[in-house]
Homo-oligomer: A and B are copies of this chain.
Amino acid sequence: MTERADRAERPGAAARRTAAQPERDPEAVSRFVERFAAQLVEAGVPRMPARVFAALLASDAGTLTSAELGERLRVSPAAVSGAVRYLAQVHMVSREREPGSRRERYRVHGDQWYEALTSREAVIKRWEHALREGVDSLGATTPAGRRLAETLAFFEFVDTEIVAMMVRWRARREELFGSP
């Protein structure tokens, strides 16, 4: 990826923008969405969920309807549906029904998704389980068994550390951004 500084905007633009715009410069938003989504994809998130998620992140309200998502990402309702199902399953978004409309609204929990992402509780638990089995069946006193046991200990350590870390984060966040 080369340096293609195609800025659609000049410094003044941000100031000029006023309440009239439903979302700021769709160009810029889309650029961010695609770039951030690409990074998520590299980290192992399936593509469409990554794009949907990035779009939600970049929305002012932090919520979008299925229709809005389809429109912004230029994909079919079916694709949105699938992506949202995935994201809900891994707790990166939640769905809310808007009372008085059959529209569904998807929301990124600004302050929860990255906690989920970082800790990956379920994933780590399964690793630990597999490692424990390995230690048992290879024998805790064999060189390989010892290696597995150490790895297991590491993940257990991380588990507890992350809990503490998130506590510190919430404190720091308050300090930086004020109370939620």
Query: Which residues of A are at the interface with B, using a C-beta cutoff of 8 A?
Result: 8-10, 12-14, 17, 24-25, 28-29, 31-32, 35-36, 38-39, 42-45, 57-62, 108, 110-111, 114, 118, 120, 123, 126-127, 130-131, 133-134, 137-139, 141-144, 146-148, 150-151, 153-155, 157-158, 161, 165, 168-169, 172-173, 176-177
Across the A-B interface, give the 8 residue pairs with the lowest CB-CB distance, nearest first. A44-B44, A32-B134, A28-B137, A60-B143, A14-B139, A36-B130, A60-B144, A10-B141
* Assembly CA distance A110 to B39 (angstroms): 28
Residues of chain B within 8 A (CB-CB) of A58 are 134, 138, 144, 148
B57 with A114: CB separation less than 8 A:
no
* Assembly CA distance A88 to B63 (angstroms): 40
Residues of chain B within 8 A (CB-CB) of A154 are 114, 169, 173
Give the Cβ gap from A152 to chain B, nearest Cβ, in Å: 10
Residues of chain B within 8 A (CB-CB) of A35 are 130, 133-134
B142 with A57: CB separation less than 8 A:
no
* Assembly CA distance A59 to B144 (angstroms): 6
B13 with A142: CB separation less than 8 A:
yes
B139 with A153: CB separation less than 8 A:
no
